A and B are shown apart, each in its own frame.
Chain A
Amino acid sequence: MILVLDSFTHVLGDFAEVQAILRSTISTVTLFDLKGTVVNPTYPKTSPDHILVQGILENDATVSFSARKSKAEIDDVSFRWIISGTEGEIEILQYQSMWQFGAPKRTLKLRVGSGEVQNIDFLNNDTFEASLSMPATNVARQYHAFMKGNTESFATFESALKTQRLLDRIVTAAGWERV
């Protein structure tokens, strides 16, 4: 069956090879109800709390990421991403938030060569940031993109399936059971 090639195919780089470690270091969790009463002091947890993935993409870039479970991040940075090129680097930081929420406190920096580090204003002409609050902002932007047919800014079933396949591949690489 020939599937329509999704417009996202060109941006979601895939791994040529991937290595992964998934670990569940916390094996039991205390379950509470809405009143704060303990329902189960030792509910068995099987989902991973530490995730390490590294690999090489099809275009030869080296990639790694780690997710850790702590009480709190030492510098409140919940998401740090550095993309390094032959001529410069960019860094994305987001504080005390889930990546997809687009927390108000997030930054994009650029350094070309050994020049000055530039703080990039990524909110140029954005009308959502001021009128809505996290986590509604990116959800609203997503519906807006869908309405406008701006396919670079939202996921379809087909493009999301690629991400779901990647997760499945990571689970397999880690030697965990597929779901």
Chain B
Amino acid sequence: MDLANDSTIDLVVVSVNVEKHLELAKPALEKKKDVFVEWPLAASLSQAEELSKLANVAGVRTLVGLQARADPLVARAKGIVDSGQIGKVVHSSAWIGTSITPVQTWLAGGEYWLNHKSGGNDFFILFGHCEFIVLFG
């Protein structure tokens, strides 16, 4: 709330556990601050819809931490596809290995990553970042 009420602040950054995204971003949007929220946007689809609606009503600029979109590799690949060099796209397949996160151990305090309903785990975060798999369809 202090950040939301501070007239010298232009952009509020919400980079915490996804379960707190809506609660923390809402007052900033209501005070018409630009807001960055880490991916996933929210812990559930309905909360994400609420945040998007609040941002539209406020008319502010928003940013979500899907930073793969900024990778020059993605821009170059899209450029190749758009140029027609490979013709019409007929097939896209991707294989993802998630061994970067531990298999059978985890750190206490981060239990949300192990819970389907938290909206913040291998599926929603690691797999969600791979949204570009449908980019060139």
Contacts and interface: CB of A to CB of B under 8 A. Distances in A.
Interface of A: 1, 3-4, 11-15, 22, 24, 26, 29-34, 39-40, 43-49, 51, 57-73, 77-90, 92, 96-100, 102, 106, 108, 110, 112, 120, 122-124, 126, 129, 138-139, 141-146, 152-161, 163-168, 171, 176-179
Interface residues of B, number: 84
A138 B133 contact: no
Given A11-B78, A71-B103, 11 more contacts: A65-B94, A68-B95, A69-B98, A69-B103, A79-B94, A84-B90, A88-B87, A102-B73, A139-B67, A156-B55, A166-B134
A179 B116 contact: yes
27 contacts: A11-B135, A29-B104, A30-B104, A48-B122, A51-B123, A65-B93, A65-B95, A68-B95, A68-B96, A70-B97, A81-B133, A84-B93, A106-B73, A112-B86, A120-B80, A143-B63, A144-B70, A146-B36, A154-B63, A155-B39, A155-B66, A156-B62, A157-B64, A160-B48, A164-B41, A167-B128, A177-B116
B45 A178 contact: yes
A138 B68 CA distance: 7
A13 B136 contact: yes
A179 B94 contact: no
Per DSSP, are chain B's interface residues mostly helix, strand or loop, or mixed?
mixed
A103 B16 CA distance: 23
